[in-house]
Amino acid sequence: MMQGGSDLSPERITVSPDVISYVEGRDCDFRVCTSCGGPVLLPVAVKPPKYTDVQVRAGRHMIYISMYQAPYIDVIGMNMVPSYYQE
């Protein structure tokens, strides 16, 4: 069973260097939100931030994290970036 705390402080969440490069390369803010497969990192144009989100800096941009995901996240990594493939 997953247990989360109530710590919503952005200082305890780190952003991996490859995610910072990813965000900078797309030149926009992102949001970590809930999906059926776990946390996912999407541009704010796709999933706008909410006033309850935790904010973490990633280079020149912000990553907004759903208050429901934030207690469970220590690192924002590339595993949160959705990947699509064709067969």
As averages over each run of 10 residues, the pLDDT of the chain (87 residues) reads: 56 92 96 89 95 94 92 93 67
**Could you tell me if residue 38 is inside a domain?**
yes
In a domain, 83, yes or no: no
According to DSSP, the residues that pair with 55 across neighbouring strands are: 64
How confident is the model at residue 83, as a pLDDT?
A: 79
CATH number at residue 30: 2.60.300.12
pLDDT confidence of residue 18: 96
Which region holds residue 38: left if phi is over 0, alpha if psi is between -120 and 50, else beta?
Answer: left
Residue 35 falls within a domain, yes or no? yes
Name the domain count of the chain.
1
Residue 1 maps to a domain: no
Is 14 contained in some domain? yes
* 23 exposure class (CB count in 10 Å sphere: 0-12, 13-18, 19+): buried
Long-range (24+ apart) CB contacts under 8 A made by 36-45 are 38/80, 39/66, 39/69, 39/72, 39/73, 39/80, 40/80, 40/81, 40/82, 41/76, 41/80, 41/81, 41/82, 42/82
Domain holding 73, by residue range, is 10-77
